[in-house]
Each structure stands twice: as structure tokens, then as C-alpha cells.
Structure 1
Amino acid sequence: MTKSTARSASGTPLPPPKERRRLREARSLSEDAVAATIGVTRTTVLSWEAGRSDPRGRKREAYARLLASSGAPDEKAPGSRTPTPSPTPAVPAGQLPPDSRPLTATVPPPDSQPLTAPVPPPEPAPVPVAPPRPALSPEEAFDVLYAGAAPGLVGQTYLLSGRRLLSLESVERAFHHAWQRWPEVAVDRDPAGWVRAAAHEYAMSPWNRLRAVHRYPDELPAEDPSRGLLEALQELPPACRRALLLHDGLGLGLPDTAAETEASTPATVNRLVHARAALAERLPELADARVLRDRLRALVGAGPGPFTTRPARTVRSGCERRTRTWTLAVASAIALLAAATVFTLVTAPRQYEPPLPAAQQIEGVPAPQHGPHALTAEDKRLLAKLRAEPAGGPERLVPLLR
């Protein structure tokens, strides 16, 4: 194994996905510029920053060097200023600065003794150390995450979809995925953000409209004070609605909002501007960004009404039961396919049977005659005999001519 192969196998350390985006934007680099430098496509760079994939080999090393250079201060970058030392005033020879004092040392006489013995400093009091907290088990850590994030996620998905049952289903499905990939989610920098992204993706999936129960948004009562805002949100494009919820409703920054929606920062800004303008046109009191932010956060905290989330233990057991069901279904399909393959191998012919050859003419055999042909002498005699005799049958039934 060569040196380059060994380095590629070991893997160059990379910062987390969100940190990659921040380092790139700190250097004012676009996705296209990074893609052109490394030799990949813009979609690949977006996948690296979203955490869906990681570079390998030489591309990983080049990407790591690019991010490292983005994180270090650039001395030649425009706008950077180098601090200059303040000038020191010149002092004439033989003179001291005005604020300087002569350095003199007082030496005690040889026969002098200290009047008092030096007192040692007091020892610091021992600081009580709290006993280490026991590590949480995977089930306990999942329950803590579910209890803290599930209620808020139900309200968020309700604002995105406008359907109460779909919002509960989206949150449970997101936590199902989180429990299936718990080793990955447990070490993530933002486990709640991981689950939030999965819940939002499921709630905004267009395939949900094929189900009759989720085809239309829920009807709101006429006296509901938030009816106008909810209806205005449902009229926004899904991408604008999600960007508005993340930035104004949850308070995420533009880079984090763009990373979670898998879009560039300029595109995210355009979506926010379009969403705010559409809401201000529908509801003039929401033209102020602070009022809109307060209204959205109040709706997120209120939730979708009387529906409540199920216990975390029920969600975990449902996820495990669903996984077992799919595993059994896949195993049954594989077993059925294997049985069909074995049956085919057993019943298949073991030797080659050549096909029937094409028809060939054999010498000495008269060819069949088709259609009317000339009568032979024997055929003519037989025909004359048949015509001379009366109709067939017993003679007593033959009519007599008179």
C-alpha cells in the first residue's frame, strides 16, 4: 500500500457539516467556487455541507485544506488591517524619561535580622467535587430528547402542513428514524435539529396528498384568532413556508436555515423576502418583522389543539415493532424467491432437446395434391357407374317412374 493510499484509508479529519458551511461563507466562497477548486459538482458540495455524504481520498484532503485556509485569518484579504506599534518618543542621551524612576536596591546591614519570621500563605480550602453523573442509557437519552423536542415539533409541522393528524404522524415517524439510527443521532451536534429536519421533510412530502385523510387541510373555526395567519401560511410555497418558520418562527440564523433547507444563503434570503411580502399583502398588520416573529412563535408554542403526543416508550416500541414487521416481510420475500429458484432448477430439463427441423421433401413419395385436378381413367369409370345407378339405399324405397 502506498503512502497516498494509506492516508486516504485513514481519512483526513473534517469539521462538522454546519461548521463547513460557516467556514466557507467566512471566506466569501460560493458552492460553485468550492466545487471548481476541488473538481466536483455543486450538488456534491451541498451534500457535504448537509452531512448526507463525506468526501474521500484526495478530494477529502483538498476539501480539508480549503476549509482550514478558510478558518485561518487571511493577511492579504481586502479590508484587513495590520496593527502598527505606537511610536516611542526619542530620549536624549544621558537623560531618563519623565515617568521613570532610578532603580535602587536597599541592602540590609550584615548584622541585621528580620524582626518577624515569614508567615506561610494559608492553604486554600478544598473545593467539594460533585460525584460524576451516571451515563444515560440509549433508552433514557432517547426519552429525554423526545420529551424536550416532540411537543414543539408537533406545532411546527402543523404550521407547515395545516393537518393535525399529519403533524403527529410526522413527529412519530421522525423519532422512529432517530431510534433506528440512534448511534448516529446520539453523537450529532444538534440531535433536536436532526429530528426536526426529518419531521419537516415528512410533513411537506407531496405523497401525503395521495391519502384521503391528508388530502385537504383541517377546517378552522371562524372565531379562531389565528385562522387568517394559518390560511395565509398555507398559500405560501412550501420552500418559503419552511424558511419563514425556521428563521422567524424558531430564530435560526440564515446559514443554519439555508443548511437545513439545503439551499444557498441568497436563495434563502429571497424566500424570506417573498414570504414576508405575501403575508404583509394578505395581513397588513404583519408588515413589521417583529410582530410576525411574535405571532409565529406563539403559534409554534400553542401546538395543533387538543392532540397530544404519545409517550416515548410507546414510540420506541412502535418503531421496533415496525422494524420487525419489515424485516419479516423482506425475509419472506427472499425465502419465496429462493423457493421459486429451487423449483425452477429442479423442474428444468437436464439435457438439450434440439428443435424440430424444417420440412424437407422426400424422394419417392408423391406430393399431396391440392384443389381440383384432372381425372384419371379409373376415376372416370367410377364416376360413370355412380351416375348410372339410382340413389343409394334399399330398393323398396326407390320410387318407380310411370
Structure 2
Amino acid sequence: MTQNSTDTASAHPLPSPKERRRLREAKSLSEAQVAAAVGVTRATVRSWETGRTTPRGRKREAYARLISSGRPNPQATPSSARTKPGAPNTRPKAAVKRAARPTAPKTVARLSKPVTSTKSPSRPPTPVEATGSTVMAPTEPGTTPDLPDSSTMPDPAPAAETAGPTPGGLSPDEAFDALYKHSADALFRQTFLLTGRRNLSRESVARAFALAWERWPEVAVDRDPVGWVRAAAYEYAMSPWHRLRRAHRRLDPPPAEPGPRALLDALLELPPSYRRTLLLYDGVGLDLPETAAETEASTPAAAGRLMNARAAVAERLPELAAGSSPAEQSALLHERLGALALAEPAGSLPSSAVIRTDSERKAQLWTRAAVSFTVLITGLTLFTLGTAPTRHETPESPAQQVGGVPPRGGPQKLTPQDLKLHKQLHGELVRGPARLVPSVG
């Protein structure tokens, strides 16, 4: 089986996940159309394009033939499948960011602890020296703290085994604790920029990590576990149902400084999809295809949301409107979002052990509830089968009084005189001629 899979993979090579998405959009194909052609679901196609899973066997052959054969000429690509002019399509270069930032030297701490990753970073990583649990990033003059991106995610390979120690020497509990320690505070700050509510941000991060521990076999082998948890936290934080909760109806007090307050107000006035796209691209540092994949939109749609979001924020920030190019605007937004995130103190998040314990307890409660409900339904079914009749009996109609029916016909009732005459005739002897009786002979 391994040999067959290897032969299939070598016979039908696939491009990188980003290239798969680009080729599909260049051919003007939607995820639903590719899923129908290959015979899978839309979620499976999205998983292939994000690199979380890889097609195998005949589906790999059909998928490779569909996206690779007859690649269209970029000149002939329809306008709907191309990025709008001036829309960013890559992460801004470090040199551009440094040129757009002030020259005052300072040393700041990164929001998360970078670790070794198998994914190629979209920008040159800052040299980081980590000692124990303290992580400091000596930066060059004029640099600012970065929101954690998927290029600094932990390597999921050591956590592939879910039972017992992993090849890297980490048990599932230790791997989860490392992931929580690495990204929990940064995710809290990011969700605060999305919602403007600290309690909701704290609840969203805890809910996302509890869900990650519940599905740890899936998260452990994911190529971007930080992105998995981030997507879960964003989805929960931006759910419209929170408007019905009294605790989350009002926003928390904004920052005291005018600049951060104006930026936060501008972010919260954006539509949820625009706000999330702007934070992922200019704040977290994802490139445009990754941003589009995480927001479940096409790359041109994500580019349009990003441009509209920048234009709306530029109306509140004059220095952003003065940017001469999208790269300079992105660098300035990256700097301001990082400063605004670090200005928000990390909330009192529960420990990773508490997250794991609560997740396991809830899973046990749901399991017991499901078992109890199943037993109840089974008992009711058996009771019904035991007490139900084996054959159908037509019920008798109850007696009812009917009016308007004519009296019953026939001879009338004899009077006393008639009875007396009847008795007299039967008692006297016959004194007349004998009766003629016919003879048979």
C-alpha cells in the first residue's frame, strides 16, 4: 500500500497548496465545481488548498489533471480571476517596512515565542534569543513588535502521535501546553482588536483551545496548529449571537491615547469580514492567498476587502492616507496594529491544565448525556413493543338514540276481549262438517 501511494504521488505530482489555489482561480473554478468534478466535498478541496491534507489515489490523479492540465495564459486570464491593480499580493518586504517606520532605536518583546517551523517564512525572521520562558527579540533600529504569524508556528511533526511520548520527546499534554504558552496571549490581543471586548476575547481563546484539545489528533498533525486555533477563536469571537448576551453588548473603554483610540474605533467600525482580512494580512502577517483561505473567500475578494478596509481606516488616520504605495500603508498598519496589541495587557487567561481538564469534563458530560439518552430511547422502544397489541381489533361503536324512525309494522297487540275470544274458540269442539283431506294414491 505504501509503495502504491508513493508511485501514485510520483506519477501525479501536485504543486504547493498556494499554487493549487492560484491555478483553480486562474481557471475560474469555484471550490464547489472542483469538488463535484473530483467527487469530494467542498471542505475537502479547501483542506487540500490550505495544505492540511493531500489527495491520494484516483482523487489525486483527477485533481492534478483538473488544475494542472491546460494551464491558461496569464494574459488570457479573465479579469474576475486577477487581482485588482494596486492590490497587495505578497507580504511587504522588510526593507520597505523599515523605511516607513521611525528611526528611533528601541528593543521590544515579541508577542509570541518563535520556534522552528517547516514552513518557509514570508519575511526574514528577526533574530530571537530565548532563555527559559522569557523571550526577548533584539530588533534593529526602528523596528516594532510583530503579531505572531503562521511562520513562527510550532512544528506539528513531534505531536503526530496521540498516545504516549512522541518522537520529539513530548507527550500530547506537553505539546498542547507548549502551543498554549506560545500563542494564547497573542491570540487574546488579536481577538481584542476584532471585538473590543476583553471578556469576550478571553472566552474566545479559552473556547478555541478547549476545542483544539478535544480534537487534538487532528490539530497535532496539522501543518499550522496556530492557524487552526486562531480560526476557531476568530469564528467564536465574531459570532453575531453575542449581541444577545448582556455581558457583551457594550464595548470596553478604549485606550487613552488619541492615536490608538482612533485606530481601534476605525477597526471596530469595519464590517466583520473586512476587519478580519485587515488583521490577518497587515497585523498577523499572512500573505493574500493564506488570508483568503482562512476567511473562506477567493483571492480577488480578499484583495478587494483589504483595499476597502485600508481606505476606511485611512479616513480616520491621516498618516495612513499619506502613504504613497500599498506596501508603505501595509508597513504602517503593521506597526500601529502591533503597538496597539502590545498596549493591551494580557488577560487573566486560565492555565493550559485548566483548559484540558474542563474540555475533558465537558466531553465526559456530553458522552454520558448521549449514552443516557440512547438508553432512554431504547427502553421506551422496548416498552412500546411489549405493550402494543399484536393484531388490530375494530372497536365497537357505542349505542346512540336515534329519533324520527317510523313505528315497527306487523299485527297489533291483542286487547283483553280479543284474548278472551281466542281462548273460547280454542276450547270449544268443532260441530260442523268434517274437513276434506286430500289423499295421495
CA distance in structure 2 between the partners assigned to 1:299 and 1:347 by the alignment: 69
AA of the residue aligned to 2:16: E
2:335 is aligned with what amino acid?
D
Aligned match of 2:298: 264
- 1:200–1:30 distance in 2 versus 1, CA, 3 Å: farther
Contact map agreement 1:243 1:257 (CA 8 A) in 2: yes
- The equivalent of 2:438 in structure 1 is none
Q: How many residues align structurally?
A: 308
2:343 is aligned to 302
Alignment match, 1:324: 364
Structure 2: segments with no counterpart, 5+ residues: 76-166, 324-328, 408-441
- Could you tell me which of 271, 279, 285 is aligned with 1:245? 279
CA distance in 1: counterparts of 2:256 and 2:318, whole angstroms: 20
1:147 aligns with 2:173: no
Provide the residue aligned with 2:318 in structure 1: 284
- CA separation of 1:37 and 1:145: change in aligned 2, threshold 3 A: closer
- Report the equivalent of 1:126: none
Q: Is the 8 A contact 1:249 1:297 kept in 2?
A: yes
CA 1:33–1:368 in 2, change beyond 3 Å: closer, same or farther?
Answer: closer
Q: Tell me the C-alpha RMSD between the 2 structures.
A: 4.2
**Matches for 1:289-368 after TM superposition, within 5 Å:** 289=329, 290-303=331-344, 305=345, 307-356=347-396
SS at match of 1:39: helix
Report the alpha carbon displacement of residue 280 of structure 1 after superposing the two structures with TM: 0.8
- Return the alpha-carbon distance in structure 1 between the equivalents of residues 202 and 179 of structure 2: 16
Tell me what 2:37 maps to: 39
SS at match of 1:226: helix
Cα deviation digits, residues 211-261 of structure 1 (max 9, x gap): 221233223365575222111111101111001001101111111111111
CA displacement, residues 314-344 of structure 1 (integer Å, 9 cap, x when unaligned): 1111111111111122222222222222222
Give the distance between the partners of 1:349 and 1:151, measured in 2 at CA: 65
* Counterparts of 1:257 and 1:368, CA distance in 2: 82
SS in 1 for 2:273: helix
User: Larger RCO: Structure 1 or Structure 2 (Cα < 8 Å, ≥ 6 residues apart)?
Assistant: 2
Aligned pairs (5 A) from 1:103-182: 135-182=169-216
CA distance in 2, matches of 1:247, 1:210: 30
Match of 2:223 in 1: 189
Give the superposition deviation at 1:294: 0.7
Q: Normalization by structure 2: what TM-score?
A: 0.59
Higher-Rg member (1/2):
1
* Per-residue CA distance 1:32-60 (angstroms, 9 max, x = gap): 17846972699564464246887676443
- Letter aligned with residue 341 of structure 1: T
Residue 60 of structure 2 corresponds to: 60
Q: 2: distance between equivalents of 1:319 and 1:342?
A: 35
Give 1:77 deviation, angstroms: 6.3
Confirm or deny: 8 A CA contact 2:23 2:68 kept in the other structure: no
TM-score by length of 1: 0.64
Identity of aligned residues (%): 52
* Alpha-carbon distance in 2 for matches of 1:260, 1:33: 16
Does the CA-based 8 Å contact 2:188-2:202 persist in structure 1? yes
Alignment-mate amino acid for residue 19 of structure 1: S
Name the CA shift for 1:311/1:368 in 2 (closer, same or farther; >3 Å): closer
Alpha-carbon deviations, 1:49-84, whole Å to 9, x = none?
Answer: 2468876764432113456669xxx8x9689xxxxx
Unaligned runs of 5+ residues in structure 1 are 1-6, 80-132, 361-366, 374-402
Matching residue's letter, 1:20:
P
For 1:148 and 1:37, locate their aligned partners in 2 and report how far apart those are by CA, in whole Å: 35
What SS does the aligned partner of 1:172 have?
Answer: helix
Contact 1:22 1:255 in 2 (8 A): no
Change (3 A) 1:369 1:158: closer
CA distance in 2, matches of 1:329, 1:211: 26
For residue 181 of structure 1, report the CA deviation from its aligned partner. Answer: 1.6
Q: Structure 1 pair 369/337, CA: closer, same or farther in 2 (3 Å)? A: closer
Contact 1:175–1:195 (8 Å) recurs in 2: yes
1:170/1:202 contact within 8 Å kept:
yes
> Aligned pair in 2 of structure 1 residues 60, 358: CA closer, same or farther (>3 Å)?
farther
- Structure 2: how far apart are the matches of 1:297 and 1:58? 46
Give me the whole-angstrom Cα distance separating, in 2, the residues matched to 1:11 and 1:356.
74
Alignment of 1:375-394 (within 5 A): none
* Structure 1 residues 368 and 319: CA distance shift in structure 2, 3 A: closer
Are the structure 2 counterparts of residues 162 and 15 from structure 1 closer, same or farther at C-alpha, using a change threshold of 3 Å? farther
Letter of the 2:295 partner, please give it: T
